[in-house]
Amino acid sequence: MRTLPTFSLEKRLWKKGYKYVIGVDEVGRGALAGPVVAGVVVFAPTTQIKKDIEKFKKIINLKIDDSKRLTPRSRRKLAAEIKDCCQSYAIASESVVTINRLGIVKATEKAMRRATARVQSSKLKVQSDKAFVLVDGFHVKYIPGIGLKNQKNIFDGDRKCISIAAASILAKVHRDNLMEKLAQNPEYKKYVWEKNKGYGTKKHILAIKRYGLTRLHRKKFVGKILAS
C-alpha cells in the first residue's frame, strides 16, 4: 500500500513561525516538446477556528498525491478542490524559445521563480521573513526576498509533502490541457500530443524522424535523444 504525502514538513515550519509555506513543483521538464510549467500552492496554517479546522480536514481527506500517480480524471477533480481549499496558488510557464535558449534547468528555475513571485504579490501580501519554500528535487536560486536560506529541496517531494504534491497537480493539469489544445492544430496532429503530452514516446519519436521538428520542439534535447 502506497503512502500519501502529509503535512509533516508544513506543520514543523508553522510551529517555527513561518506563516506562508510555499510548495513548488514543475511539470514537463523531461518532455521533447511544449513548455515547462511550474505550480505553486500555499495552504493556511492550522488554527483553533472551527471553519479553518474543517477546511484542514477537507484537505487531508482529498488524498492529494504525486500527480504522476493519479489518473487524468482524478487530477482534474483534485485541481479544482485544491484551488478552493488553498490560501493561494499560481502557475507559470516558460516557452520552448526560452528552453532552447537557456536550457531546461534555467528555464525551469525561471518558471518556478515567476510562479512564486505571483503568490508573493497576490492578495496575501506575503512577508518574505515569514515565508518558507518547499521545492521538489532541487534548490531554486534568486527567489526574490527568500533566496536559499528559507528554502528546502526535497527528493521525491511530491510523494512526501502535500504542498508540493498539490503544486504538481495544478501544473500537470494546466500543461496537459495546453498540450491537448495544441494537438488539435493540423500542424501538430501527427505528433499525437493529446496522448503523449510532448514526452518521448515511441510514436512521438517516430513522428519526429518522419516529419522533422516543429517550432515547439526542444531542439537540443531532441537531438540528443535521436543521437542515442
CATH code of residue 22? 3.30.420.10
**Count of Cβ atoms closer than 10 Å to residue 129 Cβ:** 12
Task: Confirm if 28 and 34 have CB atoms less than 8 A apart.
Answer: yes
**Region of poorest pLDDT, from 4-13, 41-50, 74-83, 191-200:** 41-50
- The confidence band for 125, taking pLDDT boundaries of 50, 70 and 90, is confident
Residue 30 lies in a domain: yes
Please give the mean pLDDT across all residues of the chain.
90
Domain holding 108, by residue range, is 8-180
Residue 189 lies in a domain: no
Cell of 133: 519554500
**Count of Cβ atoms closer than 10 Å to residue 168 Cβ:** 30
Q: What percent of the chain lies above the pLDDT cut of 70?
A: 93
Whole-number Å distance between alpha carbons of 218 and 48: 50
Residue 49 lies in a domain: yes
Torsion angle, CA of 119/121/123/128, rounded to 10 degrees?
Answer: 80
Residue 57 lies in a domain: yes
Cell of 41: 500552492
Question: Could you tell me which residues are beta bridge partners of residue 89?
Answer: 41
pTM summary value: 0.93
Residue 171 lies in a domain: yes
- The confidence band for 41, taking pLDDT boundaries of 50, 70 and 90, is very high
pLDDT score, position 126: 72
Decide if pLDDT at 170 tops 90: yes
pLDDT score, position 48: 47
DSSP 217: B
Residues 146-155: tens digit of each pLDDT? 888 899 999 9
Decide if pLDDT at 138 tops 80: yes
What mean pLDDT comes out for the span 114-139?
Answer: 86
Decide if pLDDT at 222 tops 60: yes
Residue 210 lies in a domain: no
Residues 60-105: tens digit of each pLDDT? 788 898 999 999 999 999 999 999 889 899 999 999 999 999 999 9
**Region of poorest pLDDT, from 83-87, 114-118, 153-157, 210-214:** 83-87
Give residue 175's region: left, alpha or beta (phi > 0; psi -120 to 50).
alpha
Q: What percent of the chain lies above the pLDDT cut of 90?
A: 72
Whole-number Å distance between alpha carbons of 108 and 52: 34
pLDDT score, position 221: 84
Decide if pLDDT at 197 tops 90: yes
Residue 202 lies in a domain: no
Q: Specify the higher pLDDT residue, 55 or 224.
A: 224
Residue 211 lies in a domain: no
pLDDT score, position 46: 67
Domain count, the chain: 1
Torsion angle, CA of 56/83/145/142, rounded to 10 degrees?
Answer: 120
